[in-house]
Chains A and B, each alone.
Chain A
Amino acid sequence: MTGRQRADRLAGLAFVAPAALTLAALALYPGLWVLWLSLQQRIPIFGIARFVGLDHYAFLATDPRFWNAARVTVVFTGVSVALELVLGLAVALALERQRRGRRLALSLLLLAWALPSVVTAKLFEWLYHPSAGLVNLLLGRPLNWLGDPALALPGLIAADVWRTMPFVALLCFARLVTIPPEVYEAARVDGAGRWATLAWITLPLLRSILLVALLFRTLDALRAFDLMYVLTGGGPANTTETLTVYAYRSLFQTLQLGFGSAIGVVIFALVMAVAAGYLRALRREGLAA
């Protein structure tokens, strides 16, 4: 090893060390601590702190509230992400045909995405107001969006789609503008119509960015908390209580730090399983991972 190489290694270590230490202290360490917490009965107000092993996980396996939250999480994630991808793709295709005013268009599009999700929750709470909300005004019907168990989850999903469709649209749009015009030219020369071009040229070229958007959005939807916590608080009758809301309520409302941590660990496992499954699928298809 030459002096230059040794100096490079030392410099590299010095450059990386602060970030590595920060992540170790504030991500890795809490990540291990939460595993340990989830094996304990910790109820600080009663001074309870004892080791219970896998009891919390065993309880969750037969806890109807947990399975309800899991179902809500899966429905919320599946429906939101599907709608976001379809709408986002459509908006991106439409945006690409726009000649003038693209900057303004992107401003209007990205506004919903950039707002704090608590603001989104407040916006939709007011839109869904039973007597004065814009939604009922337009529908001409006095629906109780956030109070009706059949409507709360669709209402929540609509708010999430509003917020995150722009992200998918932006990614697809950014990919679309990198497709060279010659590709479309060649398709036209070959006699491909508009729909054939879309199906055989554009969509395959968008495939990889759509998969990335699918991964990002799925992970975010599984982890989502702010929007439902502020908009519906998990109600009515737990119809919008996701795993994250159940975890939070257990941790900081009923103050069961151990039990709540166990739900947190389950969410972590779920997110990692989805990410790993996705990466494996990508690799099998031979796309770069």
Chain B
Amino acid sequence: MRARVRAWDVAMLLLLAAWATPFFWQVRTSFTPDGELLATSRVLPARPTLIHYRAVVERSVMPRALGNSLAVASITTLVALAIGLPAAYGIARLPVPGKGLLLLAVVASTAFPQITTVSPLYLLMRALGLRDTWTALVLANTSFALPLLIWLLAGFIREIPIEVEEAAFLDGAGRLGTLRRVVLPLVAPGVASAALLTFLASWNEFLFAYTFTATEASRTVPVALALFPGVFEVPWGDIAAASILASLPPIIIVVGLQRWLVRGLVAGAMKE
């Protein structure tokens, strides 16, 4: 029995590794010299090289794009949390007038297609002089992250026993004191999950970034990758190296911060 369970475990891991093959193949390509790219059926390159990474780091817009993406995704996450966390608390705990309408708006806007509002948002950003800035991307990404964030956090806050809050309030902690010293620590894992999902969505976002940016001053990683230049032929090795760099934050999240990611994803679906 024991041996059979093991075999199942191993088979399952192999199967899932096979599913991830497209990514591993790109990792392989990123270390393969150009001469071997088009005519090989070897599993690993004969002469592995860092030449593609060097080309991407030294002679492409990727380093700048990585910086832009990191900044836009981080700022978006902070702004969305700063706006979304109080809103989630208000919805979960306080008698807000028009709460039903607000909840309906939150749920409806999770279904909003980006392509529908990209044209007015483009005109808005142009009118505000925000084209080709981080600010434009932060604003657009925040508005798209907020509904899910509020939804998730309100759910996590509702899980806190209300007696804990009442006790702190009666002890004279005050509303903000209660929020900071009692609610926030208890909801911290939920905040981490919501923050991760927001960061990931902003890191991966393409349509707004593609539309609102014009130069490398604000182009994010997905845009830089989509527009990756080739002079005479497609530089497959360089593109592979660039896509591995673009994948680093998602990999860190999936491997290192998996617990919080899974918690957020599952909560978003189960709390319907």
A and B held together in a complex = yes
Q: Which range holds the interface residue count of chain A?
A: 35 or more
Q: Is the interface of B mostly helix, strand, loop or mixed?
A: helix
A288 to B270, CA, bound (A): 11
Evaluate whether A223 and B115 lie within 8 angstroms (CB atoms) in the complex, with A111-B251, A126-B240, A170-B262 already known: yes
A236 to B163, CA, bound (A): 62
Are A268's CB and B146's CB within 8 A? no
Are A117's CB and B5's CB within 8 A? no
Instruction: Determine if A205 is an interface residue (Cβ-Cβ < 8 Å).
Output: no
Are B146's CB and A100's CB within 8 A? no
Picked from A22, A107, A116, the residue with its CB within 8 Å of the CB of B222 is: A116
- Chain B residue nearest to A275 (CB atoms) is B111
Are B116's CB and A31's CB within 8 A? yes
Are B22's CB and A18's CB within 8 A? no
A165 to B18, CA, bound (A): 14
- Chain B interface, number of residues (Cβ within 8 angstroms): 93
Which residues of chain B come closer than 8 Å to A120, judged between CB atoms?
22
Instruction: Determine if A171 is an interface residue (Cβ-Cβ < 8 Å).
Output: yes
Chain B 102-125, CB within 8 Å of chain A: the 1/0 string?
100110110111111111111110
Binds B, one of A52-60, A131-139, A180-188: A131-139
Evaluate whether A108 and B13 lie within 8 angstroms (CB atoms) in the complex, with A12-B90, A15-B87, A212-B272 already known: yes
Measured CB to CB, the closest approach of chain A to B181, in angstroms, equals 17
Measured CB to CB, the closest approach of chain A to B244, in angstroms, equals 9
Are B118's CB and A27's CB within 8 A? no
- Chain A residue nearest to B244 (CB atoms) is A119
Evaluate whether A101 and B13 lie within 8 angstroms (CB atoms) in the complex, with A223-B113, A225-B115, A251-B118 already known: yes
List which A211-268 residues lie within 8 A (CB) of chain B: 212-213, 216, 219, 222-223, 225-226, 230, 244, 247-248, 251-252, 257, 260-261, 264-265, 267-268
Instruction: Determine if B266 is an interface residue (Cβ-Cβ < 8 Å).
Output: yes
**Which A residues form the contact surface with B (CB < 8 A)?**
5, 7-9, 11-16, 18-20, 22-23, 25-31, 33-34, 37, 91, 94-95, 97-101, 103-112, 114-124, 126-127, 129, 131-132, 134, 137, 162, 165, 167, 170-171, 174-175, 209, 212-213, 216, 219, 222-223, 225-226, 230, 244, 247-248, 251-252, 257, 260-261, 264-265, 267-268, 271-272, 275, 288-289
List 17 A–B pairs whose Cβ atoms lie within 8 Å, in order of A's numbering.
Answer: A16-B91, A18-B82, A22-B143, A23-B105, A26-B121, A27-B112, A29-B120, A34-B119, A37-B119, A94-B12, A98-B9, A107-B255, A116-B222, A209-B269, A222-B113, A223-B113, A248-B207
**Which B residues form the contact surface with A (CB < 8 A)?**
5-6, 8-9, 12-13, 15-17, 19-23, 25-26, 29, 37-41, 82-84, 86-87, 89-91, 94-97, 99, 102, 105-106, 108-109, 111-124, 139-140, 142-143, 146-147, 150, 175, 200, 203-204, 206-207, 211, 221-223, 225-226, 228, 236, 239-240, 243, 246-247, 250-251, 253-255, 258, 261-262, 265-266, 269-270, 272
Taking A16-B102, A111-B20, A248-B115 as given, write out 18 further A-B residue pairs in contact, using a Cβ cutoff of 8 Å, ordered by the A residue number.
A9-B95, A15-B86, A16-B96, A18-B82, A18-B86, A20-B102, A22-B146, A97-B8, A116-B247, A126-B25, A131-B38, A162-B22, A171-B269, A209-B269, A219-B111, A261-B120, A268-B113, A268-B116
